[in-house]
Chains A and B, each alone.
Chain A
């Protein structure tokens, strides 16, 4: 059964198309990363899923219901990018307040444990560090035991320690058969913490698969060299090449087969190639390649 379905969804702000004909479905019980650079449409998609924004076109459903109904039924919990706490209330009071708004919440102690807030329960919200406040906001997102959890760049402003505790909590929560969708612009986070990665760029679906598939699809290696004033036309026809970038006389080829590409470059062209480098594509490279293609 699908927990989340986007059917040809688009969202326009004036002249800007933030989400462009996006269709995807997420199966219940999976943990999915929504990966994309800033401005890719991640937050807009999450806002629409929560009924905070209305799509310009298309339809969204959460467990078969419209987002507004899903929110009213307590099916959704979320950690949004900017969300202040009430400074005069303690961590425990805040969590309990939000908890009680849901029909079937988790026990208070369990929420505090999931977010690793045991020692901070009695502290006022205005005395928390940035990372601690983020963990409280995670606690607020899970307090109502929603079946679908949405996290918009959850680790922003977290230090290493908070990050570790946060991911542990997220996995514990997801382990109960719940669906988690988290937005991030770090491929590493997507790689380590999700079952499936959906890459979006400029509001469109750029790739969809496991982290390993995404990395493979992005092309294995890069070949870099200097071409100077010589024309770069035809480089994309070399064997194995999946993408070509030329910047100020410097060429970067992305290739699935380095040997074939180099053989073609030296034997098949008359170009004067200098400063040649071959490198394995890093995660960030893979990600950049994917988001640039679309």
Chain B
């Protein structure tokens, strides 16, 4: 099973679409934005170069968690690779758990790369006590998005899963304030944003760098979304693999 997870990760790292959209894109976006606004500071005195680093790392992680789960999974279901695995001794639950672990693993490259660029290029400097909770929160917080990706992959055909995953990802990124600071939103948008898992997820990161720790409300909302989408993913996976 470990080897299965390793090959799953390996195949995505060889996938050009994954590398460009998921790994390279957030880094480039960060460099452009930080180049323009990096020197300014926000209300709580955090330089934009740091806040943007968190936003772009969150965006990269969101993109990675959805793109490395939904489409490959839908393809495997459709093309018969899933059936090839179903007739091996590997139990059904192990397939989906491995997919989940591999997708979580694939979140790390974009998350870490944006951070490294932040430190090396933009001169971001944070104490270790901030880095550790920041990266852990941004990593483990992707669980709801991986679950959403797998739910999409269990439900739609490969052709439909691609746009569905893209649209969900962009909607979550926009509504969650990953591209434009949430302070720029109107009241209505702000209320919507606070209900999304993506805003709450990124807010975990923003709160850490503002020195506020991990807000319980954010953890609660992200956790609730994780549970709800996780349950949906399990249900849809079972429906997709049922023996008729």
B4 lies within 8 A of A101 (CB): yes
For A53, the chain B residues whose CB sits under 8 A away are 243-244
What's the count of A-B pairs with C-beta under 8 Å?
74
**Chain B residues with a Cβ closer than 8 Å to the other chain, count:** 24
Determine whether the beta carbon of B11 is less than 8 Å from that of A84: no
> Which secondary structure characterizes the binding site on chain A?
loop
- Across the interface, A82 reaches (CB within 8 A) one of B7, B76, B79, B88, namely B79
Which chain A residues lie closer than 8 Å to B79 at the CB level? 82-84
Interface positions of B from 6 to 45, Cβ below 8 Å from A: 7, 10-12, 14-15
User: Are B243 and A51 closer than 8 Å at their CB atoms?
Assistant: yes
Given A93-B7, A101-B4, answer yes or no on A72-B84 (Cβ-Cβ < 8 Å).
Answer: no
Question: In the bound complex, how far is the Cα of B10 from the Cα of A93, in angstroms?
Answer: 10
Over the window 62-79 of chain B, the binary record of Cβ atoms lying under 8 Å from chain A Cβ atoms (1 yes, 0 no) is 000000000000011001
B184 within 8 A of A: no
Would you call A102 and B243 a contact (CB within 8 A)?
Answer: no
* A115 within 8 Å of B (CB atoms): no
Q: Does A52 contact B (CB under 8 A)?
A: yes
Residue A243 lies at the interface, judged by CB distance under 8 Å to chain B: no
Is the Cβ of B88 less than 8 Å from the Cβ of A50? no
Give Cα A24 to B86, complex, Å.
Answer: 25
Using A84-B79, A89-B10 as known contacts, say yes or no to A76 and B87 having CB atoms under 8 A apart: yes
Bound CA–CA A71/B22 (angstroms): 37
- 8 Å CB contacts to B: which residues of A192-239? none
B211 within 8 A of A: no
Given B10, B83, B90, which contacts A52 in the complex, CB threshold below 8 Å?
Answer: B83
B81 within 8 A of A: yes
Which chain A residues numbered 218 to 267 have a C-beta less than 8 Å away from chain B? none
- Bound form: Cα–Cα A13–B14 in Å: 41
CA distance A4 to B4 in the complex (A): 30
Q: Any chain B CB within 8 A of the CB of A100? A: yes
**CB 8 Å contact bits of A79-117 with B (1 = contact, 0 = none):** 010111110110001001110111100000000000000
Measured in the bound complex, the distance between the Cα atoms of B91 and A100 in whole Å is 13
**Lowest 6 CB-CB distances: which A-B pairs, in order?**
A84-B79, A88-B11, A83-B80, A101-B88, A88-B14, A74-B89
Residues of B within 8 A of A (CB): 3-4, 7, 10-12, 14-15, 75-76, 79-81, 83-91, 243-244
User: Which residues of A does B touch, CB under 8 Å?
Assistant: 50-54, 71-74, 76-78, 80, 82-86, 88-89, 93, 96-98, 100-103, 137, 140, 144
